[in-house]
Amino acid sequence: MLSRAQKRLQREFEEMTRHYQDTFPVEIPENDTNRMTWYVSFIGAEGSIFAGERYTLEFRFSDNYPIEAPDVIFRGAYPHHEHVYSNGYICLSILYDDWSPSMKVSSVVMSIQSMLSSATRKSRPANDASFVSYAGGRSPKTFNWIFEDEKC
Amino acid sequence: MSEPSESSDWDMEVDDESEDLPEPALIRQKSYTILHLSEIEQRVNEIASEYSELLGISKDEALILLTHYHWKLHKLQDSWLDNEMRVRIEAGILLPPAGYEVAKSRGKKLGSIKLVRGTEGCCQICYENKLDRDALQCGHSYCKSCWRQYLENLLYERTIAGGKCPMHSCPLKVPESMILGYLQGEKAENYKRLKCEEFINQNQAYRWCPAPGCSYVVEYENLGVHGISCKCGYFFCFACGEEAHRPVSCNLVKSWIVKNSAESENITWIIANTKQCPKCRNPIEKNQGCNHMTCRREVNGCGHEFCWLCLGPWTDHNSATGGFYKCNKYDELMSGTNNAFKQEESKREKAKTELDKYIWYFERYNNHHKAQKIASEKQVPAMEEKMQELHDFKQYPIGELEFLKQAAEQVIKCRRVLKWTYCFGYYLKSGAEKDLFEHLQEKLEENTEHLHELVEKPLDEFMSADVIDRSPFYQHKSELTNYFQVTKTFMEHLLDGIENGLTA
Ligand SMILES: [Zn+2]
Ligand SMILES: [Zn+2]
Ligand SMILES: [Zn+2]
Ligand SMILES: [Zn+2]
């Protein structure tokens, strides 16, 4: 029997393959029988400084999804952006305090894509090194993120 | 042992003009109420009903507005009079209508928040087709099980007071009647508790009793330093939440507590008792005795040997420089022109005297603290037992035995006041005020010790079955009552005196 979260994810997966097959392809690791981890990739928007660059986001869903936000981080190559840490963590309010259960995977990917599009230069967060060593392997949700600007 | 009758009229000059000044005794009259959480809830509901009537809105809406305005009633009223529509929109009980402009919305009367029953369609959380759905005025509809899960999660995250529609960036707040429709039993109680906590935390006139595990709340109108005696037995300061601390100000209490935290004291201790190895800068502690120091390799040192006083290599030292306990080089340095060295040394000396002074006050503070604790944890309950026995075996009316408990409680009060006088004394500058203060403090200490002895006097001699004569008991009663009164009055005078200036 599928859990509530799994049922909803199944519907989202169907929607993703139907409408976003080309833009946001989803890959679910074969060994994950619960299908609670997704890899979603996207390409930096035309006209932005990340144009044409392909990135992959790792989504980890809990049984309380979508009431609770998924853990979302960059996997592999990460964009050099002032709100993306070199361990792949993302400082974006909708992933933490501003999450709402009306959001979904596609809306998260679009928000991250547009966060990248609004950047005018490639950079790193100022506290990257100290944050990454402090973060260790903990979930990004366990930190107290301070969102310094609206885009963040 | 001092004579009680002497101390009741102590030698301090009593200011005759005090009648013109605000009477301290008046301020200290009991002007607070200890409330149970259920009484707070009642109060919250009363205010919500009052504002529902006053503003012509539902109680649900009134509660949302009050929460939004952090229970600042005047601010809510003023804003409402200024622009009702804006208040509704900002608080989240109304969606801004299309083309909404603040300036044009003044004076408009508006309808109420209402629940919309959804028609067939998809729940925007579980994505399933469910007939039975709820929505706020915004029309964002979710199935009942998703609403319940959502609200339970807000409760778990303690953000339910002020919780919004699950739709991202929808500003509408979830009304209480809906919350209580979805959360029952213990969850409903938790919600109510959170609501009351919000109210208490936002309201300057309320404060939780700081005693661990106590859930009483004080309501107090006159802000300021004030001892509150909770129903649980804890006696605390309304202004700062620490244990009641007359005659010391809240600020001094705070500094004293910081000072007492081991961490900050360690720093002073280190300054007074350690020096850095002149070679590797490792801190080295001197344990008394000889000046021959070795920077020990066992504790990451470099093995360098040097003189504690002049910091020169030990190899330069011999009986000609003063031997093990004296250092002529140090005397030369101190009388010479090396100012940096002298500054360093005077800093250390100062830290050392400062530390000694602090230890002296802290030890006395701590002794009274311990005695106070023992008296309240052991002596008062033991006394209550004795009173019951005297009543049961010797048929003394309970009313005639009250003095025993009162005296035991007075000992606790004296201990607490004495304890804080050592904090007060630590920060008091030397001078006439301090001399008089210390004299009176000593007297209160004597009185307290004597009262303590009397309270601890065994009552067995009055308990025995073959004692028929009650006069020894009444004699003890009169002695204890008299001494209790004297000590109490002395303590009150001392407190008033300290607070108004003893030599002023
Ligand atoms: Zn649903
Ligand atoms: Zn809504
Ligand atoms: Zn209490
Ligand atoms: Zn205080």
Residues of chain B neighbouring A103 (CB-CB closer than 8 A): 168
Measured CA to CA, the distance from residue B316 to residue B193 in angstroms comes to: 74
> B-contacting residues of A 59-98, CB under 8 Å?
64, 66-68, 94, 98
Contact A101, A66 (CB under 8 A): yes
What pLDDT is recorded for position B463? 84
The better pLDDT of the pair B303, B290 is held by B303
Report the separation in Å between the CA atom of B262 and the middle of ligand 4, taken as the mean of its atom positions.
22
**Nearest neighbour of B167 by CB, restricted to A4, A67, A100:** A100
The better pLDDT of the pair A109, B283 is held by A109
Instruction: Out of A23-37, A57-71, A102-116, B337-351, pick the least confident.
Output: B337-351
**Is residue B475 pLDDT above 70, yes or no?**
yes
The better pLDDT of the pair B178, B333 is held by B178
Confidence class for position B360, pLDDT limits 50, 70, 90? confident
Contact B268, B354 (CB under 8 A): yes
What pLDDT is recorded for position B311? 77
User: Which of these, B96, B60, B62, lies nearest to B80 by C-alpha position?
Assistant: B62
pLDDT tens by residue, B480-493 = 999 999 999 999 99
Measured CA to CA, the distance from residue B150 to residue A110 in angstroms comes to: 24
Instruction: Out of B104-118, B339-353, B471-485, pick the least confident.
Output: B104-118
List the beta bridge partners of residue B143.
B133
Helix (H, G, I), strand (E, B) or coil at B21: coil
Query: Could you say which of A36, A91, A94, A115 is catalytic?
Result: A91
What pLDDT is recorded for position B102? 56
Domains and CATH numbers, chain A: 4-135 (3.10.110.10)
What pLDDT is recorded for position B428? 92
Which whole number is the average pLDDT over B275-303? 69
**Nearest neighbour of B168 by CB, restricted to A64, A67, A103:** A103
Most confident of the following: B59-63, B267-271, B302-306: B59-63
Give B406→chain A minimum CA distance, Å. Answer: 51
Contact B214, B58 (CB under 8 A): no
Instruction: Out of B22-26, B375-379, B463-467, pick the least confident.
Output: B22-26
Report the separation in Å between the CA atom of B243 and the middle of ligand 3, taken as the mean of its atom positions.
11
Both tokens assigned to B35: 């409330």
What pLDDT is recorded for position A144? 65
Mean pLDDT of the residues in chain B = 81
Instruction: Out of B90-99, B271-280, B380-389, B455-464, pick the least confident.
Output: B271-280
Residues of chain A neighbouring B172 (CB-CB closer than 8 A): none
Confidence class for position B20, pLDDT limits 50, 70, 90? very low
List the beta bridge partners of residue B83.
none
Do the chains contact at A100 and B169, CB–CB below 8 Å? yes
Which whole number is the average pLDDT over B126-148? 85
Instruction: Out of A87-91, B10-14, B301-305, B402-406, pick the least confident.
Output: B10-14
Which part of chain B has CATH 1.20.120.1750? 350-500
For chain B, percent of residues with pLDDT exceeding 70: 81
Do the chains contact at B124 and A102, CB–CB below 8 Å? yes
Confidence class for position B29, pLDDT limits 50, 70, 90? low
pLDDT tens by residue, B194-214 = 999 889 988 888 888 988 888
CATH 1.20.120.1750 fits B350-500, yes or no: yes
List the beta bridge partners of residue B33.
B219
**Nearest neighbour of A4 by CB, restricted to B126, B140, B170:** B126
Contact B179, B191 (CB under 8 A): yes
Q: Give the phi and the psi of residue A54 in degrees, each rounded to 5.
A: -100, 130
